[in-house]
Amino acid sequence: MSTRREQLLEYYRLEAGRRLLRAGDTLAARQSGPVSPGAVAMWEGEETDDFHGTLAAIWLWSRAQLITGEPRFGRQIGAAWAFVESAWDHFVPDSLSAAASDEAAYDCAMVLRAGLATAALTHSGDWRRYGERAARLLASYLADLEDLNARGFADPGFLAWNLADFARAMADRGLLSAVARFVDRSFSTKQAPNFAHEPSEPDDLFDFSSTNATAMLALMATEGETPFVGSWLRERVAAHFPSGFLPRATDETAWNACVAAAAGRAFVLSHDERFLASHSQVLAELARRADAAGGAPGRGPGLPGDTLGAFYYGIALDAMVVGR
């Protein structure tokens, strides 16, 4: 790694850590009040338990502590995992069949994302029984999935990305091969992403995930850091990344943060500075919106700060942090 690149990534790590701490403080303030003990409310004053939102907070707190070395959120992380354990049977079904809630698969993916972050921080395997159950559910679900164009909580790229990262972290070759088979049949490396023309419906209640970005994240997670991935990113993808925020009918902030997360990860793997430029330009606007909202943005303009807005902002910040 060149000295310039090392300096750039170290500066970026410090800035990402600072902003993750501030976002974490806003989520910590919501871990009280009318919700169940340990749960994190979706937004300030909300009275309904937010399962995946609490997992999003666990991930953000864990990453903030690991990146900065500042033990600020240990109590919050422990209380949140206690809530996840107590609420598991209510939110996580025995199978991701048609009878399961629309958010159940997303909940399983967030169990993996949060669990890996906490495990990296604490070096504890206490969460693994939940991770293994969530992974089995997701693997079975993706193997039978036919609707590859779903969005929001059903976005297949987001589900595959998290399952692939879990499989790689657990050194589960069988599971990683299964995810790779799903990714191979679902997402093409020959077709360039088209962010500007990604579907955007004003009547959709949620549209926080860029499916172009999550497909890329899934492809990068299954393939790993290989010469093929670097070439694919440089030759087929980099020229098609947006140079700044793109307008969206719904959840504009979270959607663009998802794009920034893919750009940041692509820069790490490819070293192509077109990805760095895209990530930096989008992140500058994300940071402005986060600062205006007190540290963590809502999913879109005019929406209050919420757990999903904070999470997608967080993965954009985290995308270029390496070695931690």
The per-residue pLDDT for 125 is 80
Position 186 pLDDT exceeds 70: yes
Residue 33 Ramachandran class (φ > 0 left, ψ -120 to 50 alpha, else beta) = left
Q: What's the mean pLDDT in 22-44?
A: 92
Position 32 pLDDT exceeds 90: no
Q: What is the DSSP string of 236-289?
A: IIGGGS-SS----SS-HHHHHHHHHHHHHHHHHHH--HHHHHHHHHHHHHHHHH
Contacts 24+ apart (CB under 8 A), 3-11: 5/271, 8/276, 9/320, 9/321, 9/322
Report CA torsion sign: 41, 206, 314, 93. positive
Question: 106 lies in which domain range?
Answer: 90-318
The per-residue pLDDT for 14 is 96
Q: Answer whether 289's CB lies under 8 Å from 253's CB.
A: yes
Position 189 pLDDT exceeds 70: yes
Position 324 pLDDT exceeds 80: no
Q: What's the mean pLDDT in 166-178?
A: 97
Give the pLDDT band of residue 124 (cuts 50, 70, 90): confident
Q: What's the mean pLDDT in 244-249?
A: 95
Position 201 pLDDT exceeds 80: no
Q: What is the pLDDT of residues 61-116, one digit of tens each?
A: 999 999 999 999 999 999 999 999 999 999 999 999 988 999 999 999 999 999 99
| Tokens encoding 218 | 């899934």
Position 15 pLDDT exceeds 80: yes
| Tokens encoding 282 | 């989008």
| Tokens encoding 305 | 């700060």
- For the beta carbon of residue 242, count every other beta carbon within 10 angstroms: 17
In a domain, 112, yes or no: yes
In a domain, 1, yes or no: no
Residue in 147, 38, 133 with CA at minimum distance from that of residue 94: 133
Domains of the chain: total: 1
Q: What's the mean pLDDT in 249-267?
A: 98
Q: Answer whether 240's CB lies under 8 Å from 190's CB.
A: no
The per-residue pLDDT for 285 is 98
In a domain, 311, yes or no: yes
The per-residue pLDDT for 1 is 65
The per-residue pLDDT for 46 is 87
The per-residue pLDDT for 202 is 78
In a domain, 291, yes or no: yes
In a domain, 256, yes or no: yes
Residue in 208, 152, 212, 221 with CA at minimum distance from that of residue 182: 221
In a domain, 154, yes or no: yes
Rounded distance between C-alpha atoms, residue 216 and residue 219, angstroms: 5
Position 58 pLDDT exceeds 70: yes
The per-residue pLDDT for 311 is 99
In a domain, 45, yes or no: no
Q: What's the mean pLDDT in 288-315?
A: 96
Q: Answer whether 254's CB lies under 8 Å from 310's CB.
A: no
Residue in 273, 308, 267 with CA at minimum distance from that of residue 107: 308
Average confidence score pLDDT of the chain: 95
- Alpha carbon distances (Å) from 171 to 165, 182, 228: 10, 18, 21
The per-residue pLDDT for 33 is 76
In a domain, 3, yes or no: no
Q: Answer whether 304's CB lies under 8 Å from 46's CB.
A: no
